[in-house]
Protein backbone atom coordinates (compact mmCIF):
# COMPACT_ATOMS: atom_id res chain seq x y z
CA UNK A 1 0.00 0.00 0.00
CA UNK A 2 1.23 3.46 -0.89
CA UNK A 3 2.44 5.60 2.00
CA UNK A 4 1.71 8.83 0.13
CA UNK A 5 0.79 10.70 3.33
CA UNK A 6 4.05 9.82 5.07
CA UNK A 7 5.45 12.72 7.06
CA UNK A 8 1.99 14.26 7.59
CA UNK A 9 0.40 14.53 11.04
CA UNK A 10 -3.35 14.86 11.61
CA UNK A 11 -5.00 16.07 14.81
CA UNK A 12 -8.22 14.24 15.64
CA UNK A 13 -10.24 16.55 17.87
CA UNK A 14 -12.72 14.55 19.93
CA UNK A 15 -14.43 14.35 23.31
CA UNK A 16 -16.71 11.84 25.03
CA UNK A 17 -19.62 10.78 22.86
CA UNK A 18 -17.91 10.70 19.47
CA UNK A 19 -19.33 8.21 16.99
CA UNK A 20 -16.85 5.31 17.18
CA UNK A 21 -16.56 4.46 13.49
CA UNK A 22 -16.30 8.15 12.53
CA UNK A 23 -13.02 8.33 14.44
CA UNK A 24 -11.64 4.81 13.97
CA UNK A 25 -12.29 4.44 10.23
CA UNK A 26 -10.75 7.77 9.08
CA UNK A 27 -7.88 7.27 11.56
CA UNK A 28 -7.14 3.87 10.03
CA UNK A 29 -7.35 5.25 6.47
CA UNK A 30 -4.95 8.09 7.31
CA UNK A 31 -2.50 5.76 9.05
CA UNK A 32 -2.67 3.24 6.20
CA UNK A 33 -1.65 6.08 3.88
CA UNK A 34 1.37 6.76 6.11
CA UNK A 35 0.08 9.70 8.17
CA UNK A 36 0.53 9.98 11.91
CA UNK A 37 -2.65 10.69 13.89
CA UNK A 38 -2.88 12.35 17.30
CA UNK A 39 -6.08 12.21 19.34
CA UNK A 40 -6.53 15.64 20.93
CA UNK A 41 -9.15 16.29 23.61
CA UNK A 42 -10.12 18.65 26.41
CA UNK A 43 -8.64 16.46 29.15
CA UNK A 44 -6.05 13.69 29.36
CA UNK A 45 -6.92 10.03 29.87
CA UNK A 46 -9.49 8.29 27.73
CA UNK A 47 -12.63 9.35 25.90
CA UNK A 48 -15.76 7.24 25.48
CA UNK A 49 -17.03 6.36 22.04
CA UNK A 50 -20.66 5.80 21.17
CA UNK A 51 -22.07 3.37 18.67
CA UNK A 52 -25.17 5.38 17.91
CA UNK A 53 -26.75 5.59 21.38
CA UNK A 54 -24.84 2.67 22.95
CA UNK A 55 -21.44 2.94 24.60
CA UNK A 56 -18.50 1.99 22.42
CA UNK A 57 -14.77 1.64 22.97
CA UNK A 58 -12.54 3.85 25.07
CA UNK A 59 -9.87 5.75 23.11
CA UNK A 60 -6.68 7.08 24.67
CA UNK A 61 -6.10 10.81 24.41
CA UNK A 62 -2.62 11.52 23.06
CA UNK A 63 -2.57 15.26 23.84
CA UNK A 64 -4.83 17.86 25.39
CA UNK A 65 -5.66 21.19 23.80
CA UNK A 66 -3.32 22.77 26.37
CA UNK A 67 -0.42 20.71 24.93
CA UNK A 68 -0.84 21.44 21.21
CA UNK A 69 -1.19 24.15 18.63
CA UNK A 70 -2.37 23.99 15.03
CA UNK A 71 1.22 24.63 13.91
CA UNK A 72 2.03 21.06 15.06
CA UNK A 73 -0.27 19.46 12.46
CA UNK A 74 -0.92 19.25 8.74
CA UNK A 75 -4.70 18.76 9.02
CA UNK A 76 -7.61 18.45 11.44
CA UNK A 77 -10.29 15.74 11.70
CA UNK A 78 -13.47 16.31 13.73
CA UNK A 79 -15.62 13.18 14.01
CA UNK A 80 -19.32 13.40 14.74
CA UNK A 81 -21.56 11.72 17.23
CA UNK A 82 -24.44 13.21 19.18
CA UNK A 83 -22.43 14.44 22.17
CA UNK A 84 -18.88 15.04 20.92
CA UNK A 85 -19.62 18.24 18.93
CA UNK A 86 -21.83 19.65 21.69
CA UNK A 87 -18.97 19.32 24.18
CA UNK A 88 -16.33 20.71 21.81
CA UNK A 89 -18.39 23.68 20.66
CA UNK A 90 -18.70 24.85 24.27
CA UNK A 91 -14.90 25.01 24.60
CA UNK A 92 -13.28 28.23 23.43
CA UNK A 93 -9.95 26.37 23.26
CA UNK A 94 -11.47 23.85 20.83
CA UNK A 95 -12.99 26.61 18.70
CA UNK A 96 -9.73 28.59 18.63
CA UNK A 97 -7.73 25.45 17.78
CA UNK A 98 -10.12 24.68 14.90
CA UNK A 99 -10.04 28.26 13.58
CA UNK A 100 -6.24 28.22 13.40
CA UNK A 101 -6.34 25.43 10.80
CA UNK A 102 -8.44 27.66 8.56
CA UNK A 103 -6.17 30.66 9.18
CA UNK A 104 -3.16 28.51 8.24
CA UNK A 105 -4.87 27.20 5.06
CA UNK A 106 -4.68 23.59 6.29
CA UNK A 107 -7.20 20.88 5.37
CA UNK A 108 -10.07 20.27 7.80
CA UNK A 109 -12.21 17.12 7.73
CA UNK A 110 -15.54 16.73 9.51
CA UNK A 111 -18.34 14.17 9.36
CA UNK A 112 -21.90 13.78 10.58
CA UNK A 113 -22.55 16.17 13.53
CA UNK A 114 -18.89 17.29 13.57
CA UNK A 115 -19.58 20.40 11.45
CA UNK A 116 -21.48 21.84 14.43
CA UNK A 117 -18.05 22.73 15.82
CA UNK A 118 -17.37 24.68 12.63
CA UNK A 119 -20.70 26.50 12.99
CA UNK A 120 -19.83 27.59 16.53
CA UNK A 121 -16.37 28.70 15.40
CA UNK A 122 -17.97 30.90 12.72
CA UNK A 123 -16.28 29.05 9.86
CA UNK A 124 -19.13 27.93 7.58
CA UNK A 125 -20.54 31.09 6.01
CA UNK A 126 -20.36 30.80 2.23
CA UNK A 127 -18.79 27.33 2.32
CA UNK A 128 -20.11 24.36 0.37
CA UNK A 129 -20.70 21.63 2.94
CA UNK A 130 -22.73 18.66 4.03
CA UNK A 131 -23.44 17.02 7.35
CA UNK A 132 -25.87 14.70 9.07
CA UNK A 133 -29.41 15.33 7.83
CA UNK A 134 -30.49 16.74 11.23
CA UNK A 135 -27.84 19.51 11.12
CA UNK A 136 -28.16 20.50 7.46
CA UNK A 137 -30.64 23.26 8.34
CA UNK A 138 -28.23 24.50 11.06
CA UNK A 139 -25.50 24.69 8.43
CA UNK A 140 -27.81 26.65 6.10
CA UNK A 141 -28.79 29.00 8.94
CA UNK A 142 -25.08 29.66 9.56
CA UNK A 143 -24.59 30.60 5.91
CA UNK A 144 -23.28 27.35 4.41
CA UNK A 145 -24.30 26.19 0.96
CA UNK A 146 -25.51 22.69 1.81
CA UNK A 147 -25.33 19.80 -0.63
CA UNK A 148 -26.82 16.45 0.36
CA UNK A 149 -23.98 14.33 -1.02
CA UNK A 150 -21.65 11.64 0.38
CA UNK A 151 -18.72 14.01 0.52
CA UNK A 152 -18.37 17.71 -0.25
CA UNK A 153 -15.01 19.43 -0.74
CA UNK A 154 -14.61 23.20 -0.61
CA UNK A 155 -11.11 24.72 -0.58
CA UNK A 156 -9.60 22.07 1.70
CA UNK A 157 -12.71 21.63 3.84
CA UNK A 158 -14.05 18.09 3.51
CA UNK A 159 -17.44 17.24 5.02
CA UNK A 160 -19.57 14.11 4.94
CA UNK A 161 -23.01 13.02 6.15
CA UNK A 162 -22.84 9.76 8.12
CA UNK A 163 -21.03 6.43 8.63
CA UNK A 164 -22.44 5.03 5.37
CA UNK A 165 -20.36 7.66 3.53
CA UNK A 166 -17.06 6.75 5.21
CA UNK A 167 -15.47 5.01 2.19
CA UNK A 168 -15.86 8.16 0.05
CA UNK A 169 -14.93 10.44 2.98
CA UNK A 170 -11.79 8.45 3.80
CA UNK A 171 -10.60 8.48 0.19
CA UNK A 172 -11.12 12.22 -0.08
CA UNK A 173 -9.44 13.14 3.24
CA UNK A 174 -6.30 11.22 2.29
CA UNK A 175 -6.28 12.96 -1.09
CA UNK A 176 -6.73 16.42 0.47
CA UNK A 177 -4.08 15.74 3.12
CA UNK A 178 -1.61 14.84 0.38
CA UNK A 179 -2.47 18.02 -1.55
CA UNK A 180 -1.51 20.07 1.50
CA UNK A 181 -2.37 23.70 2.13
CA UNK A 182 -5.22 25.39 0.32
CA UNK A 183 -4.68 29.14 0.25
CA UNK A 184 -8.36 29.63 -0.57
CA UNK A 185 -9.13 28.11 2.85
CA UNK A 186 -7.41 31.07 4.49
CA UNK A 187 -9.10 33.60 2.21
CA UNK A 188 -12.55 32.25 3.04
CA UNK A 189 -11.96 32.96 6.75
CA UNK A 190 -11.02 36.57 6.06
CA UNK A 191 -14.08 37.14 3.90
User: Which residues form the catalytic set?
Assistant: 112-113
Whether the CB-CB separation of 83 and 17 falls below 8 Å is answered with yes
Alpha carbons within 13 A on the beta-carbon side of 129: 32
Whether the CB-CB separation of 46 and 78 falls below 8 Å is answered with no
Taking the C-alpha atoms of residue 114 and residue 187, their distance in angstroms, rounded to an integer, is 22
Which stretches of 144-188 are assigned E, i.e. beta strand?
Answer: 145-146, 151-154, 157-160
Residue 111 burial class via C-beta count within 10 angstroms: exposed 0-12, middle 13-18, buried 19 and up: buried
How far is residue 174 from each of residues 48, 68, 92, 142, 191, measured CA to CA in Å?
Answer: 25, 22, 28, 27, 27
Name the helix (H) or strand (E) containing 60.
Answer: strand 54-60
Query: Exposed e or buried b for every residue in 138-162, given b needs 16+ CB within 10 A?
Result: bbeebebebeeebbbbbbbbbbbbb
Amino acid sequence: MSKRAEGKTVAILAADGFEEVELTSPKEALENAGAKTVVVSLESGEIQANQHRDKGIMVSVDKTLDDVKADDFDALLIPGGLFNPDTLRQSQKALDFTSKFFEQAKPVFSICHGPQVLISAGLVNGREMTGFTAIQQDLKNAGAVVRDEKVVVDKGLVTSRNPDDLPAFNDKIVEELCEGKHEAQKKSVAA
